């Protein structure tokens, strides 16, 4: 216990120093990324079956010769609202399938839609992508709590990605980003039919020959409209009134039935 | 979700509940689970539905004077305490990811036991009827261990002098079942009141309905505020279909013979239980599952 405290203390002291070192090193690239969307708010009705969102952007301060050699790559991600997610795995006990082991990942996006100039895996090396946290295979999945010797992290991460992809929450479109003039590009990201309500983030990343150069993010509010969402909002935001109304509705239905169908 | 399937489900269960005089909560919740409604929603919505299906029965018993409010209130004390503990257990099971399993297991045990008991009972009754024997009412002994317990109270309407301990205890147990399984619990409470507490049969059904209404209403409130799992639209469709179906069920039930009906219901109950049991044993399509914790909602 004391050893851990000492270690944490040492880390705490070491961190500001490390940050200093990083700040001292000038890692300035001339290129900048600009993006724009026509709206910062999308209203979605209950019959929504998915749609495409188009994002325009430009690389500023680019090197024309590198651009001509197609050395620039752009990856645009639409990240849904974040929450902790728990992956569980069932095992057979006395013939019955029971949830046994589990792992909770901290603040992962509920939905993730990726669009890029080419397959993300070919744009940069895995360590670079992991560092930036871009790409379904490289999204940050940090477990919370005790994970034992850590040998099962890979298993749970893979299961998480597979479940999110097969559920349509995580999507990718290699080729969804196209240059429409020298440095002007258009990115199409898919909004799945089950797009979660809340604040999403459009995050664009610029890579130059496998090196991460710049990032630009814009918030996008997705608001579900219609009666279903109104009811769902009431259930969460006015839970007490919602519960009371549910009971009242039941009492009224039962009482009315007893009047309507009264035998005498 | 198809509204006509839900309507049909509600009407069918309402029909059965009218025919047999049962609440139907123990059929609605498993049917919703079969229809891929998450068990957490099925249970909370089932409890809400039971409020509607019990009120008309309770009202008519109250009018006829076959409802012991004092006894019902003592039961209710236990019921509310049980439902509170039950909701706590429910939330705990949910956080450790064992809720669906426990709901299914409880239903398998409950439906299996009730189904077998009912089937044996109705077979015995059918045999008796075949031999043309008169129905011999088992005369319960006047005293048992239940009647030696302290803290006795006089219940005038029921004409009984009884310890409050088993009454509160019974209410407590039923309260836990209501919150974890979404049932009213009448199918356990009624036999327990008759055979265990020796309460006169004429007040038993009305009094149990009285306690069921309050406990299911309380459970609905608790589910809505702690787990946000009451689906009011689903519940309303089930209620409307259920109360209408019940009216026709009552009519049909009066024309048919009781023993054969009960044997049929027993088979149905066993079939539902068996289906749930099979789902527990069959290898799932995917052993992995992911849930959002809803912490930052």
DSSP A15-73: HHHHHHHHHHS----S-EEEEE-S-SEEEE-TT---EEEEEEEEEES--HHHHHTT-EE
Task: Report if residue B204 sits inside a domain.
Answer: yes
A146 is written with which tokens?
């005790």
Please indicate if any CB of chain A lies within 8 Å of the CB of B220: yes
| Any domain includes B288 | no
A88 and A67 within one domain: yes
Question: What are φ and ψ of residue A197, in 5° steps?
Answer: -70, 140
CB contact under 8 A, B287 and A91: yes
- Distance, CA of B6 to CA of B31 (rounded, Å): 10
| Token pair in block for residue B236 | 């309303």
Q: Are residues A107 and A236 in the same domain?
A: no
Domain assignment present for residue B295? The answer is no
Q: State the average pLDDT over residues B125-153.
A: 68
- State whether A251 and B287 contact (CB < 8 Å): no
Contact, A176 vs A189, CB < 8 A?
A: yes
Largest CA distance in chain A: 93
Range picked from A11-15, A28-32, A68-72 for highest mean pLDDT: A68-72
Please check whether residue B289 lies inside any domain of the structure: no
Per-residue pLDDT averaged across B214-220, rounded?
Answer: 95
A113 & A210 share domain? yes
Q: Answer yes or no: do A56 and A174 share one domain.
A: yes
CA distance A90 to B224: 29
Torsions phi, psi for B263 (to 5 deg):
-65, -40
Subunit contact A247:B221, Cβ cutoff 8 A: yes
Q: From CA B108, how far away is CA B110, in angstroms rounded?
A: 6
- Asked if the Cβ–Cβ distance from A253 to B230 is below 8 Å, we say no
pLDDT at A196 over 90: no
Q: Exposure of B156 by Cβ count < 10 A (0-12 exposed, 13-18 middle, 19+ buried)?
A: exposed
- B26 neighbors B190 (Cβ within 8 angstroms): no
Residues A35 and A117 placed together within one structural domain of the fold = yes
Residue B297 lies in a domain: no
CB contact under 8 A, B220 and A236: no
What is d(CA A42, CA A20) in angstroms, rounded to the nearest whole number? Answer: 41
d(Cα B72, Cα B215) in Å, to the nearest integer?
A: 11
Q: Closest approach of chain A CAs to the CA of B288, in angstroms?
A: 4
Is residue A159, in this structure, part of any structural domain at all? yes
B293 close to A (CB below 8 A)? yes
**Please, which residues 88-127 of chain A have a Cβ atom closer than 8 Å to chain B?**
88-91, 95-99, 102, 104, 107, 110
Q: Model-level pTM?
A: 0.81
Query: Could you tell me the CATH number of the domain that includes residue A164?
Result: 2.60.40.2550
Q: How confident is the model at residue A19 (pLDDT cuts 50, 70, 90)?
A: very low
Q: Based on the domain organization, do A218 and A204 belong to the same domain? A: yes
Q: What pLDDT is recorded for position B142?
A: 53
Residues of B in contact with A235 (CB under 8 A): 224, 228, 230, 232
pLDDT at residue A253, as a whole number: 92
Task: Choose among B45, B30, B6: nearest CA to B228.
Answer: B45
Statement to judge: residues A105 and A182 lie in one domain: yes
Task: Compare A245 and A48 and report the one with higher pLDDT.
Answer: A245
In a domain, A19, yes or no: no
| Six token digits for residue B141 | 């002994």
> Over 60: is that where the pLDDT of A131 sits?
yes
Mutate to test the interface with A, among B62, B292, B297 (most CBs of A within 10 A): B292
| Residue A201, burial from CB neighbour count under 10 angstroms (0-12, 13-18, 19+) | middle
Is A4 within the bounds of a domain?
Answer: no
- A245 Cα to chain B: minimum distance (Å): 9
Distance (Å, whole) CA A21 – CA A47: 53
Position B3 pLDDT exceeds 50: yes
A49 found inside a domain: yes
Å from A135 to nearest chain B CA? 19
Residue A134 shares a structural domain with residue A232: no
Does one domain contain both A88 and A143? yes
Domain of residue A66 covers: 30-225
In a domain, A10, yes or no: no
Domain co-membership, A68 together with A193 = yes
Q: Spell out the alpha helix ranges (H) of chain A.
A: 2-24, 64-68, 120-123, 126-132, 153-166, 227-237, 239-260
Chain B contact probe: residue of A102, A257, A261, A262 with most B CBs at under 10 A: A257
For residue B82, the enclosing domain spans: 3-130+144-280
- pLDDT band at A193; cut points 50, 70, 90: confident
Give the lowest-confidence range in A199-208, B110-119, B133-142. Answer: B133-142
For residue A7, is it within any domain? no
Same domain (yes/no): A248, A128: no
Task: Let me know if residue A5 belongs to a domain.
Answer: no
Residue B113's contacts (CB-CB under 8 Å, 6 or more residues apart) are none
Q: Residue A261: in which H helix or E strand, if any?
A: none
Q: How many helices (DSSP H) and strands (DSSP E) are in chain A?
A: 7, 13
Structural domains in chain A (count): 2
Closest CA to B294 of B112, B94, B108: B94
Same domain? For A251 and A147 the reply is: no
Residue B46 belongs to a domain: yes
- Which range, of A17-26, B181-190, B197-206, B239-248, averages the lowest pLDDT? A17-26
In a domain, A239, yes or no: yes
Examine residue B290 and state whether it is found in any structural domain, yes or no: no
Looking at chain A, which residue has its C-alpha nearest residue B222? Answer: A243
Confidence of residue A263 (pLDDT cuts 50, 70, 90): low
Domain count, chain B: 1
**Which of A107, A231, A243 lies at the smallest CB-CB distance from B233?**
A231
In angstroms, rounded to a whole number, what is the distance separating the alpha carbons of residues A125 and A147?
27
For chain B, how far is it from start to end, CA to CA, in angstroms? 24
Mean pLDDT of B82-103: 93
- Closest CA relative to residue B54, chosen from B269, B205, B249, B237: B205
Residue B245 lies in a domain: yes
Residue B138 pLDDT more than 60?
Answer: no
Residue from the list A83, A231, A254 with its beta carbon closest to the beta carbon of B232: A231
pLDDT band with cut points at 50, 70 and 90 for residue B102: very high
Phi, psi (deg, nearest 5) at residue A110 = -65, -35
Please give the ipTM for the structure prediction. 0.86
């Amino acid at each position: 216990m004391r050893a851990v405290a000492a270690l944490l203390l040492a880390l705490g002291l070491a961190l500001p120093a490390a940050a200093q070192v990083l700040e001292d090193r000038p890692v300035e690239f001339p290129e900048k990324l600009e993006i724009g969307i026509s709206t910062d708010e999308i209203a979605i009705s209950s019959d929504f079956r998915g749609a495409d969102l188009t994002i325009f952007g430009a690389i500023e301060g680019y090197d024309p010769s590198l651009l001509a050699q197609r050395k620039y790559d752009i990856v645009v991600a639409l990240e849904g609202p974040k929450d902790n997610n728990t992956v569980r795995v069932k095992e057979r006990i006395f013939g019955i399938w029971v949830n046994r082991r589990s792992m909770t990942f901290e603040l992962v996006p509920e939905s993730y839609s990726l669009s890029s100039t080419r397959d993300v895996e070919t744009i940069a090396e895995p360590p670079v992508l992991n560092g930036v946290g871009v790409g379904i295979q490289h999204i940050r999945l940090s477990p919370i709590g005790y994970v034992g010797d850590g040998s099962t992290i890979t298993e749970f991460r893979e299961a998480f990605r597979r479940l999110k992809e097969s559920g349509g929450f995580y999507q990718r479109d290699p080729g969804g980003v196209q240059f429409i003039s020298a440095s002007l590009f258009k990115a199409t990201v898919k909004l799945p039919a089950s797009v979660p309500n809340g604040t999403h983030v459009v995050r664009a990343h610029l890579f130059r020959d496998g090196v991460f150069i710049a990032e630009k993010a814009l918030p996008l509010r997705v608001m579900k409209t219609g009666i279903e969402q109104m009811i769902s909002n009431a259930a969460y935001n006015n839970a007490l009134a919602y519960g009371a109304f549910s009971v009242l509705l039941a009492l009224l239905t039962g009482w009315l039935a007893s009047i309507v169908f009264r035998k005498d | 979700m198809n509204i006509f399937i839900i309507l049909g489900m509600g009407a069918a269960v309402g029909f059965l509940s009218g025919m047999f005089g049962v609440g139907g909560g123990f059929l609605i919740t498993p049917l919703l689970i079969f229809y891929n409604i998450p068990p957490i929603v099925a249970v909370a919505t089932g409890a809400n539905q039971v409020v509607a299906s019990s009120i008309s029965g309770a009202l008519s018993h109250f009018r006829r004077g076959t409802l012991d409010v004092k006894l019902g209130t003592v039961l209710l004390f236990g019921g509310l305490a049980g439902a509170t503990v039950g909701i706590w257990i429910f939330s705990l099971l949910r956080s450790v990811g064992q809720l669906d399993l426990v709901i299914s297991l409880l239903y398998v045990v409950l439906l299996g036991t009730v189904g077998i008991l009912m089937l044996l009972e109705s077979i015995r009754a059918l045999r008796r009827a075949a031999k043309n024997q008169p129905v011999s009412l088992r005369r319960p002994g006047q005293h048992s261990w239940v009647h030696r317990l302290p803290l006795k109270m006089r219940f005038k309407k029921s004409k009984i002098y009884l310890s409050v301990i088993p009454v509160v205890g019974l209410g407590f147990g039923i309260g836990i079942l209501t919150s974890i399984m979404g049932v009213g619990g009448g199918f356990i409470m009624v036999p327990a009141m008759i055979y265990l507490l020796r309460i006169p049969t004429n007040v038993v059904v009305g009094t149990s309905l009285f306690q069921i209404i309050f406990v299911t209403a309380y459970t609905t409130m608790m589910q809505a505020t702690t787990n946000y799992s009451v689906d009011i639209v689903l519940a309303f469709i089930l209620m409307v279909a259920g109360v209408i179906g019940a009216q026709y069920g009552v009519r049909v039930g009066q024309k048919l013979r009781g023993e054969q009906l009960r044997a049929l219901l027993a088979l149905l109950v066993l079939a539902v239980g068996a289906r749930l049991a099979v789902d527990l044993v069959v290898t799932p399509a995917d052993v992995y599952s992911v849930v959002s914790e809803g912490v930052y909602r």
